[in-house]
Amino acid sequence: MKSSSILLLITIFSFIEASFAQQNKWQLWATGLPQGTFPKLAIAKNHDIYYGLVGTSSPKGIIYKSNTLLSNGHFEEMPIIPIPKSITNNIQEIICNDNNEPIVGIFRSDISEPFIFKYNSSNNSWLPVNVDHPPVLGAFCMAKSPNGNIWVGAKWSYIYKSTDQGNSFKRIDETAIVKNNYPCYYPSWGGVPSDGAIYSLNVDQKGRLYAGTEGAGIIYSDDDGTSFHPADYFACQSSNATLKDSLSPMKALSYTGNLGALGFTKNDDLIFNGTNLWAFNWKQSLGFADMDQHKVYEVNGLAPYLISAGLQVTKIVTTDNGHIYLHSGSNSSTPKDSVGIYTSLDGINWHIFNDGISSVINGQSQGALAVDGNTVFFATHDGKIWKYESSTTTSIHHQTIENNIKIFPNPASTKLYFDNPFEHKLISIYNSNASLAQISTISNQQIDISTLSNGLFYFKINFENKIWVGKFIKQNL
């Protein structure tokens, strides 16, 4: 490939590779906040930002408030939450409704006591929220739909829904709904008769609600919780819905457990994690699902076995311009420089990005991510908050570009063949507008391109800590 072609490829990939622009590093934005374990962040529509801690030695039930438009984060202590005597943690989760009011969830051991509290801006106080059927322990995760509905996932194991900005919640027994429509699904692949705890919730731009469970993988609802479906499109045999389809190509969505994080690409492709992904030899324990094409892949770019437990990733966030971020948690068996923030643009190829963060990066800060437009905020457990302005201008970062890939034929109509040793590697294919057109796994040194339209395409393969790039022409004969 001539040098001009290499420059063209790099120019194309400057728009599609998750990387860093302008200052290329995180900036310290706020200091002096209470220190503890597992910080939590939430941002309201009016740019107010809220900070709390799951574990703290300071007085419990206090949330701190600032605004993301401030040049330096100055946080103020809010009125204390009337937490119950049986509280077993501090602030488990925070979310904001469409009225810019924060809502928090806690764990408590006495089911007669409240576990959700909402801030009333009119009288500057926190009030317990009415719930029709309380859970055993409390709120573990929260999400908000584009229509304003607020969701809470609880141990053990219901999903709760609010249609009145968080003033009240009603229980949804998602296990019973799935059992009724997909009788093969329980007992789950792990042998349990229900999904256990709801460990993660998230809603895509189209309003689809996903739930990550303890024992039954991922389920979703397209109708605000009236019905639920396995994310594994082939979970049950088509001829007999009482029998599992053990050959399902999406089995990783059903089999994964302790599913702590769900996230999305700009195109609403699903990103997920879980401990049982090791059963598929997915050493990075992070997956990508194209829910329209019903295909599932392991991602690239994380250190092998970096995620050693499912809940080590508890938040995946996406900016308005499509940059995706997660915190990897920690693993004592992997190098320290592999732990921390990872970023991606396509959900498949990830790169570490701790540049500028001087705090200790470890598992005590996992999940402390929030996004306001194209600005990402990250809280470390030493009472500091960092921010990064994610620009639409991107560039290849910390990666070597290789272009000596031999492909044939070119032009190609149905199959594209590789001479290089890329067997079982993922290949991302982009059209001339730098839009993702296809993700495939190279098998027998070839991929199927029959569904692509005629035209020029660029491709990218992550292999041996390098980005391998090339281009080809699709032309039907």
Among the listed residues 180, 320, 200, the one whose alpha carbon sits nearest the alpha carbon of residue 260: 200
Residue 394: its pLDDT value, please? 44
In three-state form (DSSP H/G/I as H, E/B as E, the rest C), the secondary structure along the chain is CCHHHHHHHHHHHCCCCCCCCCCCCCEEEECCCCCEEEEEEEECCCCEEEEEEEEECCCCCCCEEEECCCCCCCCEECCCCCCCCCECCCCCEEEECCCCCEEEECEECCCCCCCEEEEECCCCEEEECEECCCCCCEEEEEEECCCCCEEEEEECCCEEEECCCCCEEEEECHHHHHHHHCCCCCCCCCCCCCCCCEEEEEECCCCCEEEEECCCCEEEECCCCCCCEECCCCCEECCEEEEECCCCCCHHHHHCCCCCCEEECCCCCEEEECHHHHHHCCCCCEEEEECCCCEEEECECCCCCCCCCHHHCCCEEECCCCCEEEECCCCCCCCHHHCCEEEECCCCEEEECCCCCCCCCCHHHCCCEEEECCEEEEEECCCEEEEEECCCCCCCCCCEEECCCCEECCCECCEEEECCCCCCCEEEEEECCCCEEEEEECECCEEECCCCCCEEEEEEEEECCEEEEEEEEECCC
Residue 448: its pLDDT value, please? 95
Q: Which residues, given as ranges, of the chain have pLDDT below 70?
A: 1-23, 392-401, 465
pLDDT digits over 444-469, tens only?
999 999 999 999 999 988 877 678 88
Compute CA distances 144 → 228, 395, 451, whole Å: 17, 32, 36
Residue 9: its pLDDT value, please? 58
Residue 284: its pLDDT value, please? 81
CA atoms of 449 and 445, how far apart (whole Å): 13
Residue 4: its pLDDT value, please? 53
Residue 399: its pLDDT value, please? 56
pLDDT digits over 178-232, tens only?
999 999 999 888 788 888 899 999 999 999 999 999 989 999 999 999 999 999 9
CA atoms of 331 and 223, how far apart (whole Å): 39
Query: Scanning the structure block, which residue is given the tokens 């200091």?
Result: 31
CA atoms of 32 and 369, how far apart (whole Å): 18
Sketch out the chain's domains with CATH numbers: 3-10+399-474 (2.60.40.3080), 21-389 (2.130.10.10)
Residue 21: its pLDDT value, please? 39
Instruction: Yes or no: say if 166 and 118 are a contact pair by the CB < 8 Å rule.
Output: yes
Residue 393: its pLDDT value, please? 46
Residue 11: its pLDDT value, please? 54
Query: Scanning the structure block, which residue is given the tokens 């971020």?
Result: 325
Residue 1: its pLDDT value, please? 43
Q: Give the pTM.
A: 0.86
Compute CA distances 142 → 139, 292, 415, 459, whole Å: 8, 25, 44, 37
